[in-house]
Structure 1
Amino acid sequence: MAGFRRLYVGIFCYVLCITLVSDGSQSVGNVEQQEITWGKPNTDTARFDDDNPLNVTAMVGQQAILPCTVINLDKKDVSWIRQRDLHILTVNIFTYTTDDRFKVYHPEDSDDWHLEINPVTFRDAGVYECQVSTSPKIFLPIQLSVDVQQARISGPREVFIQNSSTIKLTCVVNTHSENVGAVSWYRDNAELDYDSPRGGVSIEIEKTPVRTTSKLFLTRAGKNDSGNYSCVPQFADSASVLVHVVNGEESAAVYKARSSCVTCDPRVILGIILLMTLMSFLWCP
């Protein structure tokens, strides 16, 4: 009887492990393959440039350029189609959408028919097709991925400042360009007013091609300056830090231990519970 139980548990564990692994593989590897019709090389018929990239990544609020280079176009038409709704965006240099963010970049006498989207929104992510009116038609799908820039405030997420000292907060936004828009600072839900009667509020802005840095300074910090401070760029997700202004004798008492929550794949948790149940059944007399 015990041998039968061990055999049953072994088979069950094997099937469970195979199921978990196969499910995880399917979730990771489920990438849709797009069909591409390039045209015929080494001929006089229209075709796409072999070096045309198929994946483009842009940042929310910035410009996206979807490349399409057509060789031997002759008198054929070039169109851009949005795949999710089959909407015709452009034909040659003409735009066929009321959304004025879309237009074609085509220098005179060039082979380039790039689609420009400016500014990009998160909803613009997806597949766009550059089509040429040959017979049969050739088309080139371009995958547009849209990322959201993320602000980050240096240091811990909760800080303690001595009364009458200066609050110094540094916010960094990593980006592919200098355009993150205006960067504002908030305490709780109110934007900080640099001309307020409180005084002593100032910021420093530094921009490079790869990041924007905003530094906030509040001199002579008092109890009323405690709160949740947020760095809010126009074209990036905000970041926050909780600031406590404390007296010297309070410094040792304000620290509180916090528990962290560890997340786990629900399938793994279910598998562990089932295995523990079966092991307890196995060793029962």
Structure 2
Amino acid sequence: MTLRHHTPTCLALLLLLLWPTPAPGGGSEESEPKITWGRPNTNTAYFDDNTAANVSTIVGHKASLPCHVINLDKKDVSWIRQRDLHILTVGIFTYTSDDRFKVYHPEESNKWYLEINPVTFRDAGIYECQVSTSPKISLPVLLAVEVQQAQIEGPAEVFIQKGSTIRLTCRVNTHSDNVGAVTWFRDAHRLDYDSPRGGVSVEIEKTPTKTTSKLFITRAGKADLGNYTCLPQFADAASVQVHVVNGEESAAVHKAGSATAHSDVRVLCWSVLLLLLLCQAWR
């Protein structure tokens, strides 16, 4: 049987693979938490419709969730964590043993902020501001928590000529200028910039969107090889493996890398040739 006889079947299989598959659950969208605003322009309590419903923060920073209640009178404002329906605060009092949670309520204001400081990744989720009216009114606020990630420029393995300078650049890109102190480690040991070895220094540059830490180690020797880690206080660490090699070792590494590249090209060429031969046979 020729390839022409297989063409309709192949097209049918291709269309079947490309046809969009409905999402599990019948394609219905996940229902969002409902907001019970209350009734404006009355004497009963209601929420200010300018209140933000989404808050974003970073691990290790403070989150402030807003709740603006108008016509509160003598009613109570409570904050509930929707994940486990745990009552966190009632009025200005905290009802959790986790001292990271508290309410900030400026005097003579209609603002009741739930503050979480410092935030962990597990704190992400929906929190409800509730007012003890009859019926009760509630305002859900979604807290999104980001984890900052450090990155060291260049490959995961670096080969440094003995006697030259090790230069490593670690960047943390974020919408916040506070990533905390940035610490460098070699293996499990924190680098000491004042050690008797000398020649170890760091340059720090901070902007509103990026923090950069540059590590310099002059006169690199065999004692300087190892796994170097950049660890910001409020971001995930990044690591790179540093090898210190002599001239002969450096040439050997370069030769091995070239041989690997040539081998990869040879495999690619043979694969293309085999594909062309198969196409000729199908005709």
TM class by shorter-chain length? 0.7 to 0.9
1:85 Cα deviation after fit: 0.9
Q: Which residue pairs with 2:216 in the alignment? A: 217
Pair 1:253–1:89, CA change in 2 (3 A): same
CA distance in 2, matches of 1:97, 1:69: 22
- Could you give the per-residue CA deviations for residues 243-278 of structure 1, whole angstroms, max 9, x where no partner exists? 222233443432434899xxxxxxxxxxxxxxxxxx
SS of the residue corresponding to residue 128 of structure 1 reads: strand
Pair 1:87–1:253, CA change in 2 (3 A): same
Letter in 1 for 2:137: I
Note the 1:227-266 alignment, pairs <5 A: 227-255=226-254, 256=257, 257=260
CA distance in 1, matches of 2:24, 2:245: 49
Q: Which residue pairs with 2:135 in the alignment? A: 136
Provide the TM-score with structure 2 as the length reference. 0.80
Which stretch shows the higher mean deviation, 206-215 or 248-257? 248-257
Q: Which residue pairs with 1:197 in the alignment? A: 196
Is 2:28 the counterpart of 1:22?
no
- Could you give the per-residue CA deviations for residues 63-83 of structure 1, whole angstroms, max 9, x where no partner exists? 011111111211111000001
Letter in 2 for 1:21: T
CA distance in 1, matches of 2:238, 2:182: 11
Letter in 1 for 2:21: V
Letter in 1 for 2:22: S
SS of the residue corresponding to residue 254 of structure 1 reads: helix
Q: Which residue pairs with 2:87 in the alignment? A: 88
Pair 1:165–1:25, CA change in 2 (3 A): farther
Which stretch shows the higher mean deviation, 152-161 or 237-246? 152-161
RMSD over equivalenced CA pairs, Å: 3.1
CA distance in 2, matches of 1:37, 1:224: 65
SS of the residue corresponding to residue 223 of structure 2 reads: helix
Which stretch shows the higher mean deviation, 235-244 or 86-95? 235-244
1:129 Cα deviation after fit: 0.2
CA distance in 2, matches of 1:30, 1:118: 33
Letter in 2 for 1:222: G
Pair 1:159–1:81, CA change in 2 (3 A): same
Letter in 1 for 2:112: W
Q: Percent identity?
A: 68
SS of the residue corresponding to residue 253 of structure 1 reads: helix
Pair 1:31–1:241, CA change in 2 (3 A): farther
Letter in 1 for 2:37: W
Q: Which residue pairs with 1:281 in the alignment? A: none
Q: Which residue pairs with 1:268 in the alignment? A: none
Pair 1:47–1:61, CA change in 2 (3 A): same
Pair 1:253–1:9, CA change in 2 (3 A): closer
Pair 1:155–1:13, CA change in 2 (3 A): closer
CA distance in 2, matches of 1:189, 1:32: 48
Q: Which residue pairs with 2:107 in the alignment? A: 108
Pair 1:8–1:84, CA change in 2 (3 A): same
Gaps of 5+ in 1: 261-285
Pair 1:26–1:165, CA change in 2 (3 A): farther
CA distance in 2, matches of 1:23, 1:231: 41
1:26 Cα deviation after fit: 7.8
- Could you give the per-residue CA deviations for residues 5-42 of structure 1, whole angstroms, max 9, x where no partner exists? 98888777655554x53248989x85441111111122
Note the 1:115-134 alignment, pairs <5 A: 115-134=114-133
Is 2:78 the counterpart of 1:58?
no
CA distance in 2, matches of 1:32, 1:183: 42
1:241 Cα deviation after fit: 1.6
Q: Which residue pairs with 2:276 in the alignment? A: none
Gaps of 5+ in 2: 1-5, 265-283
CA distance in 1, matches of 2:82, 2:240: 41
CA distance in 2, matches of 1:119, 1:194: 30
May I ask how many residue pairs the two structures share in their alignment? 259
Letter in 1 for 2:227: N
Is 2:146 the counterpart of 1:147?
yes
